[in-house]
Amino acid sequence: MGEQWGFYFDPDDCMGCNACAIACKNRHDVDEGHVDWRRVDTVPSGSFDDYQNYEETNVSMSCMHCADPPCEKVCPTDAIQKRESDGIVTVNQDACIGCGYCEWACPYGAPQYGDDGLMQKCNLCLDKGPGSGHGATSKNEQDEPLEPACVDECVGGALDAGPVGELLDKASEEAAERFANNPTSVIVEPSSEKTSAIAPMDVGTKATDGG
């Protein structure tokens, strides 16, 4: 099995500017309006009435490329695949029937539906365009892997992508511990000052067969 690829996100560096979401749309020629492969949500903390302790955290989200994707399990045509070569979850639009089961199963709102009625979503920029990830060469075998547009255009440097083992090099101890118990392929820093970096953990760094 190839090494799992994923994302790294530090909410302390996210300004909520939505440059990541716009860059994603532009690169993949995603339909305008409600179709968002990546979005920035604002998560409140505390009581709004207690304004001195009220805080908001910006969270940039896309497909989590889960270790055991619930979307893959419910797809009746096997259009969704957790790739063994790099762990990226892709969709074969030629096999998709637009039933919406994956949208209902995903807890992160990753599956999106464009004007053609077919599912599309983040493929970690394996290639460009909706459905382009299916059948693409493994990230681990590409000579010059395309950097995800969201990472390339992130103003604050909050996002990164690559082999999970390399991303763990920059992660704090707390983020790495959370990732070890995390069924996704996204390393998220706590929304506070980072602690010391740690060496890569041999946890979740190998792509798994999602089925």
- pLDDT by position in tens, the chain (length 211): 689 999 999 999 999 999 999 999 999 998 878 899 999 999 887 776 777 777 889 999 999 999 999 999 999 999 999 999 999 999 999 999 999 999 999 999 999 999 999 999 999 999 998 878 999 999 999 999 999 999 999 999 999 999 999 999 999 999 999 999 988 999 999 986 443 332 333 333 344 444 4
| pLDDT of res. 48 | 65
How many Å apart are CA 57 and CA 190, to the nearest integer?
Answer: 10
Backbone angles phi, psi at 79, to 5 degrees: -75, -20
CA 94, distance to chain mean position in Å, is 23
Asked whether 108 and 61 are in contact (CB, 8 A), the reply is yes
pLDDT on residue 1:
61
Task: Kindly indicate whether the domain formed by 5-188 is annotated with CATH number 3.10.20.30.
Answer: no
Rounded to the nearest angstrom, the gap between the alpha carbon of residue 163 and the centroid of all alpha carbons in its chain is 13
Q: Measure the CA–CA gap between 126 and 65, rounded to whole angstroms.
A: 13
Burial 112-144, CB ≥16 within 10 A → b, else e: bbbeeebbbbbbbbbbeebbbbbebebbbeeee
Residue 183 falls in which region: left (phi positive, over 0), alpha (psi -120 to 50) or beta:
alpha
Q: Give the model's pLDDT for residue 81.
A: 96
